[in-house]
Structure 1
């Protein structure tokens, strides 16, 4: 079943909203200083909690505080793996150099493709799984925040060098 969803977020905030034919489907609210978020779907509430720096991972917890998936990041290649307790594994990665297209798939029968354009975009999915869709958006925001922090640190280092 092919479905096309719309998503949007504010310019300077990290609050994502996903719509199915103009009807709200779910939202993701990020913590402003941490790479953690709350996701609210029509059926469930999820907590996505990130930890670690040298070997980073995010645990996805349901409202009973059970781990239902784990995301492991490959910072050097801008990729991630999502693993479920059932053993099913999904690969996440950017599809272009502008970082405006990315996908999440299991290389057999499930695939979600995301497109972005200045704070909004489309999601093409061949499955109806809110958790997978929001996971793909979460990972994208995770990498966006890392790139922004790197850019700020670089600017501060070069501007501080010119002061002395």
Structure 2
């Protein structure tokens, strides 16, 4: 069964709202000073807790049971991530476009989610009902966006200093 979801994000805080048929069905809310997040989608409630330098790993906790239901490991240099579910299943998050406006979450067998974005909104189509995978795809994209902003912010002073030297 295919699912079609529209989403909107707030560029400043990275929060997402998810809509199906014009009705809000969920949200992702990021912490102010960290990249941790809380999500609600339909009847599921997850917390995303980052670990490691550069947030190289994220634990996904089911808020109803306080149980770790997935772990996300990032490959920052290749813009890929692996979502490992508690069941042992693995899914790959992968950017499909140079500017990051398209990405997928897939097990390369029978479950596939395609995301498209433009500025602060987008759509996704999913052939799975797995709410965790749908939310995780948006969460991972925001983690990569924050990392890119941090890298740019670090290089601007260096570039400015080197160009202003006599």
TM-score surpassing 0.5?
yes
1: distance between equivalents of 2:129 and 2:11? 28
Residues 5-84 of structure 1 mapped to structure 2, 5 A cutoff: 5-53=5-53, 56-63=56-63, 64-84=65-85
The number of aligned residues is 164
Q: How has the CA–CA distance of structure 1 residues 11 and 55 changed in structure 2, closer, same or farther, with 3 Å as cutoff?
A: closer
Deviations 1:20-64 (A, max 9, x none): 011111100011221210001231321100010278100000112
The unaligned stretches of length 5 or more in structure 1 are none
Match of 2:86 in 1: 85
Runs of 4+ in 1 over 4 A off after TM superposition: none
RMSD between aligned residues: 1.4
2: distance between equivalents of 1:44 and 1:20? 15
1: distance between equivalents of 2:44 and 2:94? 26
1: distance between equivalents of 2:83 and 2:16? 20
Match of 1:126 in 2: 127
Match of 1:4 in 2: 4
2: distance between equivalents of 1:93 and 1:11? 21
Match of 2:159 in 1: 158
Contact 2:54–2:147 (Cα < 8 Å) also in 1: no
Match of 1:115 in 2: 116
1: distance between equivalents of 2:107 and 2:23? 28
Contact 2:82–2:92 (Cα < 8 Å) also in 1: yes
2: distance between equivalents of 1:49 and 1:55? 9
Alpha-carbon deviation of 1:162?
A: 4.7
The unaligned stretches of length 5 or more in structure 2 are none
